[in-house]
Amino acid sequence: MKGVRAPAGGSAAATSRTRCLTLLAVAALVSGFAAVFPALPAGAAQVVDEAAAELSLWKALVLGLVEGITEFLPISSTGHLLVANRLLGLDDTDASERAIETYTICIQAGAILAVVFLYWDRVLEMLAGLLGRNEVGRRILVAVIAAFVPTALIGLTVADTVKEQLFGIGPVAVAWFVGGVVIIVLDRRDWFTRTGRGLGDLAVRQAVIIGVAQAIALWPGVSRSLVTIIAGVAVGLSLGAAVEFSFLLGFVTLSAATGLEGVRNGQELVDTFGWFTPTAGLVMAFVSAVVAVRWMVAWLQRRGFGAFGRYRVIVGVVVTLGTATSVL
């Protein structure tokens, strides 16, 4: 499936620059992590030691791996993390439930950095647009902001209700199955291969539609990536442009969600698990997200969306059976 833009890279100069940017980005990420989350208070070492036995290093790395692989693929990172928490026994521990939830949200910072790393040229283009030096970058930046606003407003309004009513294995399995069927149906009708416009031609009104659609992903298991890509194609973007816009919108959306969660519950995260384990999970999320995004772009260039639909249906059925037989 042609038309899906590959992440930047290739020349020796670009590789050298990317390595430098990566080192700077990792340093900035760790520094930012330290700035957002308060220091570990005196006397909390014993609490951290006890909690570390529950969120051990290997479990933190597994969650980081799951987050990185699934965040930008149309298969739902939230759903996979819920199931992973269940399988790892982290939903029934003495550690704070809120600290576990905060960790699974804050490791999104790794996925955020992956987008910056892979689409640095586009990010620079948008920054130039902010300064009035690049018209295409300005239009893309305006579109990303326009798409983010409705998601933020809807999310702040209904997030607590969604968390209370829908965060469970059952709703996730239903969303996986339904989303998988939707992908299969659209793929068989060659819906994703329709000719569309480039990212620089996305109008504000169309971006707002994508942002409203993104709010559907508040239902765990739906997949933010899936609904934004489908919405992007629906408003007239090519699949490649819709995928890239989904990545860029995810960068802004995840940054806001991670920052808000860090401000609200960062202290409890550090009090409970310390620094090393969460940071290791965050780095794992970054590395695995880079690999996953590159793989997804390459896959779409050669094949199509159908495999993601089949995967979702299979996982939805397996999880449903696992819940019915008390395996999950």
Look at residue 228 and tell me whether its pLDDT is greater than 70: yes
Residue 36 within a domain: no
End-to-end Cα spacing for the chain: 37
Residue 24 within a domain: no
Domain hosting 319: range is 42-324
Residue 28 within a domain: no
Residue 111 within a domain: yes
Map tokens 């808000």 to a residue. Answer: 260
Q: Is the Cα dihedral 181, 183, 186, 188 positive or negative?
A: negative
Q: What's the pTM value of the predicted model, to 2 decimals? A: 0.86
Residue 21 within a domain: no
Residue 75 within a domain: yes
Q: Each residue of 205-225: pLDDT tens digit? A: 999 999 999 999 999 999 999
Cβ atoms within 10 Å, residue 173: 24
3-state SS class at 204: helix
Q: Tell me, what amino acid is at 264?
A: R
Least confident stretch, 9-23, 72-86, 227-241, 249-263:
9-23
Residue 204 within a domain: yes
Mean pLDDT of the region 116-130:
95
Q: Each residue of 135-170: pLDDT tens digit? A: 999 999 999 999 999 999 999 999 889 888 888 999
Say what angle helices 239-273 and 45-52 make with each other, to 10 degrees: 130
Q: Each residue of 266-318: pLDDT tens digit? A: 888 888 888 899 999 999 999 999 999 999 999 998 888 999 999 999 999 99
* 237 bridge partner residues: 197
Residue 50 within a domain: yes
CA distance 143 to 122: 14
Number of structural domains found in the chain: 1
